[in-house]
Structure 1
Amino acid sequence: MLDKEEVDSSKDNRSYDNDQNAVERGQQRFKTYYKGQELVDEEEWGSFWNILFVPLPACFWIAQSHPSSAQMNAICKQLKVYFSSTYEDDSFRMTSPYSLKWFPNELAWCLNISRQVLKRDEKLSKLHDFIVEQNSSGVINRQEAVSMLPPILLQVEPGDKVLDMCAAPGSKTAQLLDMLGAKNNSSVERQSLVVANDANLKRCWMLTHQLKRFSCPYLVITNHEAQRFPVEMHFNKILCDVPCSGDGTLRKSPDLWKRWYADTGMNLHSLQIAILLRGCDLLEPGGRLVYSTCSFNPVENEAVVAEVLRRRSTQIFLIDVKHLLPNLKFRKGLTSWKVKNNAEELGFFNCYEEVPLHRRKKIPPSLFPKDDLEDLGLNKCIRILPHDQDTGGFFIAVLERASRDTQDTVEMNIYDKEKSFIKTRRISRLISDDPFERLSSVNISLLKTIADFYGLDEELLSNHLMTRNSDTERVRRIYYLSEQVKFIVENSIGNLNRLTSTDGNEKYAYRVVHGGLRCFEAMDSKYQVECPYRIVFEGAPLIASRMSKRLEHIHDEEIWDFLLHIKDTIKISEIPFVDLRTNLEQTSPGSVIFCFTNESTKDYLTAWLGPSMLSIFVATEDIRLLQSHISRNYISLNDMLNNDA
């Protein structure tokens, strides 16, 4: 009789065997399907197949809107020199890191080793820690190389209204925000809008946390199924990175082998069409939409694009963007493919007419290639195969909407049938019970107090400051919202009782999870304060650029380092820097902002000034990130790469 440990061991072995068998079966299904599709020529199949088992190299892009971007790029160039000859160890082989030539300003880098090696190898532990720290601070963003392409091809500019239809986990949205922030064009800032939408509420809250570091007043996070996104507003730039089977990520996620089936892509096909159709209907005339998947499967890619082009033939067309991708190796879109017959071992349907009648509900004609594919311009689509340039697999189609539709007989939009959706779907109380209200209509005297205390433009604040409805009796939190964001939140489900269209019908309201930028928060003070509202850390960059009072400029790195090491509270009399101490002694109690600037850094620190004390109001993790931004806290290259030194 086996004892308990032996029984558990035998179960583990059986589990491993089962997993291994599942992997091998998935690999055989994959090989049979894509060889049948003639995805690559027979002579290059070995190269394509073998690289699927090689882990992806670690890649990241540098946030050009971040004040430390130039310094980070310089460090990457030093890494390139350090590894100019092959660096070889018993456990790994590393060649020189390189910048991705097709990324704007060459601000994306590939370390040429996998994330697993970077994480586990002791000799690279400090380099790994440095990369993790810079990712947390927002200086860099770790992301698979090909996943960086859709935002680049969207070509966003200040003043654009951008919709990311399936935004989580948020890497592409972060890229869009960085591209807009780097333009620094304040004259059109108020017209910019980025809506990050996701169908999963938990992922929406994750987006809120991930994107707050951009301190962006024109960001809204919504919770909708993408194919049912409200049509009250149209956008001139739309990113449509749809749910897919994901077999282009096998190098990153080898567990996918166990559950790889051809019909996974077939089952997603109709949803992908519905999402892309809704994206086209939300696109302004002359606007641009990027459709993308991380799948090799043509039924998720070319078949979807072709069907949408047929249904929106007078509105939407494909454009050629190869000139935007210098030094990127890619293939043209397919103009022929096959549809798997899962009822027959290893078989394919040659045409839709071969599909049995009882199976046609699940196998629609849109899965099949037709004679119009060249006329539709599918060769303008972009296919990226992993063995071409050591990447993952990816598909991209860039579409534009005609400046004016050529005829009026456009198919009736599917959202015409969805007006009952608001009433029938269960709505989270986290969203519906707390709409935004304009601060100017809730408490105009408070608005005047804040404007005068911080030296802000009262008229500007009256147009942009809002609070949540639950705060109206005693305002606790105040948000800064751009012009376009205000339209979204004022047409949210929380305001459903106000929403009627001109014909008397209910509007289809937005489910807003987060909107704008939190800037002010009420303080409970034991002493008299002219304005008991402090500036919060995430809103400091925006407010500091507009305020003429209570802003302390710091240029001395020693003073800045001292402020960052204050443990919550310090007596003003104990501050060792005379000019700073004098300025604070002459400032009335209330919130202050310290702004540190040098040639490579611009950072903000929010604090509360009492009659005799200074309190720092920044979370510990944010303090650590601020400390990492100043030059003398960047670890030297020698220390980073020589742990024994």
Structure 2
Amino acid sequence: MGGGRKRGRTQRRHFKQGRENVWKHNPQRPPAGEGGEAREDNPSWQPFATENPAFEEYYKEQQIVSEEEWDSFMSMLRKPLPATFRINASCQFFQDICSQLENDFRKSLETEVTDDHEEDAIRPLPWYPGNLAWHLNFSRMQLRRNQALESFHEFLKRENEVGNITRQEAVSMVPPLFLNVQPDHHILDMCAAPGSKTFQLLEMIHQSTKPGLLPNALVVANDVDVQRCNLLIHQTKRMCTANLIVTNHEAQNFPGCNLAKFCSKMCMDEAKVQRLEFDRVLCDVPCSGDGTVRKAPDMWRKWNAGMGNGLHHLQVEIAMRGMSLLKVGGRMVYSTCSMNPVENEGVVAEILRRCGDSVELLDVSNELPELARRPGLSTWKVRDRGSWFGVHEDVPRYRKHVISASMFPSGKGSKDSGTGSSSVEVNTDVADADMKDSTDMGEGEQETTVTIDDSNNGDNLKTEEGTKVDCESGEVTTSSSYKKLNSTSIRTEHSDYPLHRCMRIVPHDQNSGAFFIAVLHKLSPLNENQVVDGVRIDQNISKDKTEKLEKDLVSHKASSEENTVHQQVIDNANVLDGEQNRDRDNKSSEDKSSEDSKVNVNEAAKGQAGTRDRRRQQNQGRWRGVDPVIFFKDEVTVKSIVSFYGITDSFPLEGHLVTRNPDTSHVKRIYYVSKSVQDVLELNIKIGERLKITSLGLKIFERQSSKEGSPCTFRLSSEGLPLLLPYITKQILYASAIDFQHLLQYRTIKFPDFVDAKFGEEASALLPGCCVVVLREGHQDIGSIATDPSAIAIVCWKGKTNLCVMVSPLDGKELLERISLRHGLKIPKGDKEKPSQEIAGSDELLDCATEVDDQESLPESKASDIEISDAKEAE
């Protein structure tokens, strides 16, 4: 079933694919030769439809806004979303960027204001601390196509790529602010990709620390999908931080790292304190995303009420797992970019119901007072198959496994709701159940509630009322019927929880997108019985069958794009620690191949053992497709690096250097990790590497070779230079502003050609190999420059006759413009950069001008395969 309409981005399981082209199904798509762009002079093009009767009916019934402001609400939803961005306060040129915005762009763009409601072309967001976030009176489309805005657009793109700013939707910046992050906090971002909020968290912990020092805080950024992890790595790499770990796990099954579970009784007392818990948890869960219609107009066509219903259980389980990993006294922020109360207040109410007195919903109305927000709802309804339900008792019996009690305000089900059932629920097709909401749905509607039939080992998924789903073909057969209820006679109920403490941001309040945020505080350890009570599981299902079920579901999803498969949590009894969660790397599932299943049991067992040994030798790690994390302990190499660059003893190296290659003789890159990351790594090794780490640390040294040779085989990395610079005493030069500019401009300069002859002599006297060139501003004392962590410096390569810059062209261009603006220097228009990558004095070519992305840390796919664009921001 390869063809047909693709599912919406919020309906794809775990968002494994990118956003769909908005023109793909537009019947008025511009013809070939037009570039697929919306052209006003193209008579065949028509604007993308921003109408969906089912959407309007749904939110009118839910009373998201009052009847009087409905027209304003809908009118704003149909307007393009203004572009917004945030300045990185921990970046080296923070003050320069702020000055450039205030004094240059703010004045030059005044004449370009097009919105009658906006007075300023650009302005700081009043609710964001420190005037770090800015609102533009232009949409992303206008920025790309208005020639008058071309220079400003280029500024945004360049500064975003080097990490000085982050282009992000305004409401997406709100959740991290309510975490109240402190300098020593351990923070978990459970569903982190594409990484804008993670970057924001990193900004917070680095901003709270003095320049040149590493914070004690730690950020663990997790995402379920490898491709999205790669995007996350690309985003956060701009921060150049040693305090980040990127993991690849299902958020609802994030592993518990508790050493006490793996120790004997003798070491129990010591192990009790060795447990990975978090002071703050950001739980920005996958959602239907209807709050993003202003920047993703394809959502108008794809939206249906079943999207939120299909994600509700997954959202609850992710949130509960986050609460389990939260320290007592910690704070968790639950958020979505959806307006649907089933995904918002319904999930929060279920968390409070399961956790009892252990968790409270905080009133944060006094925080960020200038942020326009509305209180959460205390009553709402659930729509299913064209019918409205106000209480769970009114849901037909054969829909109760799909429309659960937790979706309703009270969270209470009827006697026949099936809460005592021992089957594992799997939602299939619930997200598409309301695709025909705008039409009458009478008898003959298909029923697709699915339970696992343990007797056939999960080969087929059996449904109630005679429906059967074949996991291989994806075909659905049914004999059930569904009767539409009269929506005028439905009963309603109110929640007893203080859901008014939640906040809902609606677009027309402050010309933004829509968002939902709830702040929860953990008062005491969770009651395990209460938590598990909300998860209906079959204790008899083995791990092997669970793994097989997951494979079947993935196969079913791939072969039938019309069906959305969301598997409800298959968790084991120990939800608090997660030690019994299904293990994706158990030996039987990891090493079993399709060929093994075709031979007899004895042959399979023998082949399995051999395959396991071979793969262990190849990977030298627990997780297939992901390079292991190895502490770098080659004393000879470390001593060589310390001696060559004169690194002082005050910079700790022992225990802070890691690599992704177990063969020390072929290590290409060495990473530096903070003390907090080091502690987590040591704990992870002790418990058997339960964390699947895809990226971590700051690249600080990189292997480099040349025909002329160098006393040190490792060069400095541009990423790690700002951290290491105050501690380097050798292979360091101090250049005037003009020579520093020339280096960036021409990239390779012979020693006699420097303006400052003394500088050329000093450069020629250095040992061959990597060196550092520091900008000497005015008559600064060289000693003070060397220890100043804010000093501007670049990595270069000293050859026989010249000095070659080892900075990427993009970073070099950005640095060149910053130096020129600060010192009033002019860049001749006729002079172009010389992209020479030749080592001085030799014919050997290498990547000295461009530092490539670290491929060792990316599992299963390359970072170059990821297309980074404005449309990729999916928060």
Normalising by the residue count of structure 1, what TM-score does the alignment of the two structures yield?
Answer: 0.86
| Greater mean alpha carbon deviation, residues 239-248 or residues 77-86 | 77-86
Supply the AA of the counterpart residue of 1:422: D
**1:318 CA drift (Å):** 1.5
SS of equivalent residue, structure 1 residue 124? helix
Q: 1:62 — aligned with what?
A: 87
Q: 2:730 — aligned with what?
A: 549
Distance 1:110 1:22, change over 3 A: closer
- Picking from 162, 180, 188, the partner of 1:163 is 188
Distance 1:13 1:148, change over 3 A: closer
**1:368 CA drift (Å):** 0.3
Q: 2:342 — aligned with what?
A: 299
Contact residue 340 and residue 348 of structure 1 kept, 8 A: yes
| Greater mean alpha carbon deviation, residues 85-94 or residues 29-38 | 85-94
Distance 1:315 1:91, change over 3 A: closer
**1:616 CA drift (Å):** 1.9
Q: 1:438 — aligned with what?
A: 631
SS of equivalent residue, structure 1 residue 564? helix
Say whether residues 1:523 and 2:704 are aligned partners.
yes
SS of equivalent residue, structure 2 residue 178? helix
SS of equivalent residue, structure 2 residue 286? coil
Q: 2:808 — aligned with what?
A: 619
Q: 1:119 — aligned with what?
A: 144
Supply the AA of the counterpart residue of 1:460: P
Distance 1:21 1:212 in 2: 37
Distance 1:93 1:320 in 2: 32
Distance 2:107 2:726 in 1: 40
Aligned positions of 1:290-329 closer than 5 A: 290-329=333-372
Q: 2:498 — aligned with what?
A: 377
Kindly, what percent of the aligned residue pairs are identical?
A: 38
Distance 1:542 1:293, change over 3 A: same
Distance 1:15 1:129, change over 3 A: closer
Distance 1:399 1:254 in 2: 32
**1:341 CA drift (Å):** 2.8
- Picking from 524, 531, 540, the partner of 1:411 is 531
| Greater mean alpha carbon deviation, residues 91-100 or residues 621-630 | 91-100
Aligned positions of 1:380-399 closer than 5 A: 380-399=501-520
Distance 1:174 1:124, change over 3 A: same
Contact residue 246 and residue 694 of structure 2 kept, 8 A: yes
Distance 1:276 1:89, change over 3 A: closer
**1:513 CA drift (Å):** 0.8
Distance 2:790 2:410 in 1: 56
Contact residue 114 and residue 137 of structure 2 kept, 8 A: no
Contact residue 422 and residue 509 of structure 1 kept, 8 A: no
Q: 2:645 — aligned with what?
A: 454
RMSD: 3.3
Say whether residues 1:238 and 2:278 are aligned partners.
no
Say whether residues 1:341 and 2:381 are aligned partners.
no
Say whether residues 1:362 and 2:402 are aligned partners.
yes
Contact residue 55 and residue 304 of structure 2 kept, 8 A: yes
Say whether residues 1:280 and 2:323 are aligned partners.
yes
Distance 2:530 2:823 in 1: 58
Cα offsets for 1:222-273 (capped at 9, x unmatched): 1111111111121111111111000001111111011110110010000000
Distance 1:634 1:118 in 2: 29
**1:466 CA drift (Å):** 1.9
Supply the AA of the counterpart residue of 2:726: S
Say whether residues 1:581 and 2:760 are aligned partners.
yes
Cα offsets for 1:519-558 (capped at 9, x unmatched): 111222334533221101111111213323323344x321
Q: 1:595 — aligned with what?
A: 774
Distance 2:505 2:704 in 1: 54
Q: 1:6 — aligned with what?
A: none
Distance 1:278 1:259, change over 3 A: same
Normalising by the residue count of structure 2, what TM-score does the alignment of the two structures yield?
Answer: 0.64
Cα offsets for 1:42-82 (capped at 9, x unmatched): 11111101111111111111111112222222232236863
Contact residue 314 and residue 407 of structure 1 kept, 8 A: no
Contact residue 489 and residue 515 of structure 1 kept, 8 A: no
- Picking from 666, 691, 709, the partner of 1:510 is 691
**1:87 CA drift (Å):** 4.5
Q: 2:242 — aligned with what?
A: 217
| Greater mean alpha carbon deviation, residues 90-99 or residues 295-304 | 90-99
SS of equivalent residue, structure 1 residue 251? coil
SS of equivalent residue, structure 1 residue 453? helix
**1:14 CA drift (Å):** 5.1
Q: 2:393 — aligned with what?
A: 353
- Picking from 464, 471, 486, the partner of 2:656 is 464
Distance 1:216 1:628 in 2: 24
Cα offsets for 1:181-210 (capped at 9, x unmatched): 222247983632111111111121222222
Distance 1:350 1:12 in 2: 35
Distance 1:127 1:469, change over 3 A: closer
SS of equivalent residue, structure 1 residue 64? coil
Contact residue 338 and residue 349 of structure 1 kept, 8 A: yes
**1:374 CA drift (Å):** 6.1
Say whether residues 1:45 and 2:70 are aligned partners.
yes
Say whether residues 1:570 and 2:749 are aligned partners.
yes
Aligned positions of 1:248-287 closer than 5 A: 248-287=291-330
Distance 1:44 1:190, change over 3 A: closer
| Rg (Cα) greater in structure | 2
**1:156 CA drift (Å):** 1.9
SS of equivalent residue, structure 2 residue 238? helix
**1:627 CA drift (Å):** 1.8
| Greater mean alpha carbon deviation, residues 430-439 or residues 583-592 | 430-439
**1:508 CA drift (Å):** 6.7
SS of equivalent residue, structure 2 residue 702? strand
Contact residue 246 and residue 695 of structure 2 kept, 8 A: yes
Distance 1:126 1:15, change over 3 A: closer
In structure 2, stretches of 5+ residues that fail to align are: 1-23, 31-44, 258-275, 413-493, 533-573, 592-614, 779-788, 826-875
In structure 1, stretches of 5+ residues that fail to align are: 1-10, 501-506, 637-645
Contact residue 731 and residue 767 of structure 2 kept, 8 A: no
Contact residue 451 and residue 461 of structure 1 kept, 8 A: no
Structure in which a larger fraction of residues adopt helix: 1
- Picking from 153, 157, 163, the partner of 1:132 is 157
Q: 1:504 — aligned with what?
A: none
Distance 2:180 2:652 in 1: 29
Distance 2:624 2:807 in 1: 27
Contact residue 752 and residue 760 of structure 2 kept, 8 A: yes
- Across the two proteins, how many residue pairs are aligned to each other? 605
SS of equivalent residue, structure 1 residue 593? strand
Cα offsets for 1:380-413 (capped at 9, x unmatched): 11110101111100000111212x4387765354
Contact residue 410 and residue 496 of structure 2 kept, 8 A: no
Distance 1:75 1:616, change over 3 A: closer
**1:625 CA drift (Å):** 2.2
Distance 1:195 1:420, change over 3 A: closer
Aligned positions of 1:136-147 closer than 5 A: 136-147=161-172
Distance 1:539 1:408 in 2: 44
